[in-house]
Amino acid sequence: MEKFDYIVVGAGIEGSWTAYQLIRDLQKPSVLLLERFPLPHSRGSSHGQTRIIRHAYPESFHTALMPRAFREWRQLEKDAQTDLLISKPLLCVADESGYQGLDNTIARLKEEQAKSNNTISYSELTPKELTKEFPQASFSKTHRGCIEYSAGILLADKCLATVQTQFKKLGGVIKDGFVVTSIIPGEQVQVKGHHQGVEKTEMGGKVAICPGPWAKKMIEPLLGKKLPIKTLRVPVFYWKVKKGGPGAIPASFIDHGAGEFWGIPEVEYKDMIKLCSHSTSDEADPDDRDKSFAHPNHDDLTNYVRKFFPGLEDTPSIIETCMYSVTPDNVSIIDTIPGEPNIAYACGFSGTGFKKAPCVGLMLKGLLNPEGPNDDLIPMEPFSFQRFE
């Protein structure tokens, strides 16, 4: 039985970045990356063509991660000699119901801009300026805005494949189709499961668990307590741009008001805009996500498109799905198993994890190697499980 220095469970974007950074940054460790489905697949949270990447968050601890995340993504592009990140402005808007969130976001951008030697750039928009800058939309007279010019779009599927390729180039091992059934703590952690119809046990000195929608099933037996996580099935909507209409806004988009609306301009499908709302999701078991799947009710989203985006058809042309693991405060949990410092885990990314994945990898690497270099350490308190106890 082969023994590895590290085993990473889950080859989504968080697990893949963790495995890559372990093998890239440490002294030539042996690293095994396990994935329950044959790669590539669309059963978890990391598939799809695009994700927004931004510095614009209402919370300071999120915004503070992003300069490092951007640097890691750009370095990956350089190392792999490929393009992964498209520079694209991000428009944040809000009416009275979302002014606090918008103001917090602007305050965080201002703070980080001062630290970043102006690599972060943004501007605020009054209602009149918002209408002038984005005539394709019909925002109300109470809407204010903020544009982050230093934001962008990650090519998600390509990003995931690139991280895994770079990991393998450095000697990392990927076993896909490995369904983990249990993780047994010890000086050598046992990861038990099924691979190609055969029961298998992999041994690792240290283990990082990045289980995505399977967090509760995989981590709760180790914690001996409930994880405060809901697993959601989330529809992703694409709306066709009307011929002869005012068009669509040429920016990614987040509404800080009610409904949690967000959108990505035409990148994936010709003449199609991705515009979604987290409010259309429903709870689902990740192993039964397709059972009793009804056409999602998207009346609120349709009404929103009709009201504010006259350049789009008001019926979606394409509906895809993915899975979210959501915590009560929409902040991920990144921690170690109590009494087992050689087992760390990350889960509950609440739909905002992809862009931050390089920093999640650094945090898990730091948790498993607390004696390591301090330059990689990121404050862990906002992500600790203890905040729920």
Give residue-wise pLDDT tens across range 356-384.
999 999 999 999 998 876 556 688 899 99
Domain assignment present for 73: no
pLDDT of residue 297: 75
Domain assignment present for 60: no
Helices (H), the chain: 13-25, 60-80, 99-115, 127-133, 156-169, 215-223, 299-308, 357-368
Tens digits of residue pLDDT in 42-89: 888 999 999 999 999 999 999 999 999 999 999 999 999 999 999 999
Q: Which residue has the higher pLDDT, 220 or 289?
A: 220
Q: Domain check: are 360 and 308 in the same one?
A: no
Instruction: Give the closest residue to 317 by CA, choosing from 251, 220, 239.
Output: 239
Range of the domain at 277: 89-150+230-326
In the block, residue with structure tokens 């890239």: 24
Q: Exposed e or buried b for every residue in 201-229, given b needs 16+ CB within 10 A?
A: ebbbbbbbbbbbbbbbbbbeebeeeebbb
Q: Domain check: are 300 and 241 in the same one?
A: yes
Domain assignment present for 77: no
Rounded Cα gap, residues 320 and 312, in angstroms: 18
pTM, two decimals, is 0.95
Domain assignment present for 183: yes
Rounded Cα gap, residues 279 and 37, in angstroms: 28
Rounded Cα gap, residues 211 and 44, in angstroms: 9
Listed residues 326, 352, 372: the one ending a domain: 326
Domain assignment present for 65: no
Rounded Cα gap, residues 389 and 386, in angstroms: 5
Q: Domain check: are 129 and 162 in the same one?
A: no
Tens digits of residue pLDDT in 146-201: 999 999 999 999 999 999 999 999 999 999 999 999 999 999 999 999 999 999 99
Q: What average pLDDT does range 253-273 have in this prediction?
A: 92
Domain assignment present for 35: yes
Rounded Cα gap, residues 184 and 5, in angstroms: 16
Q: By the 8 A CB rule, do 380 and 328 touch?
A: no
Rounded Cα gap, residues 45 and 43, in angstroms: 7
Structure tokens of 13? 């974007």
CATH number at residue 112: 3.30.9.10
Q: How far apart are the first and last CA of the chain?
A: 39
Overall number of domains in the chain: 2
Q: Is residue 388 classed as helix, strand or coil in its secondary structure?
A: helix
Q: Domain check: are 172 and 282 in the same one?
A: no
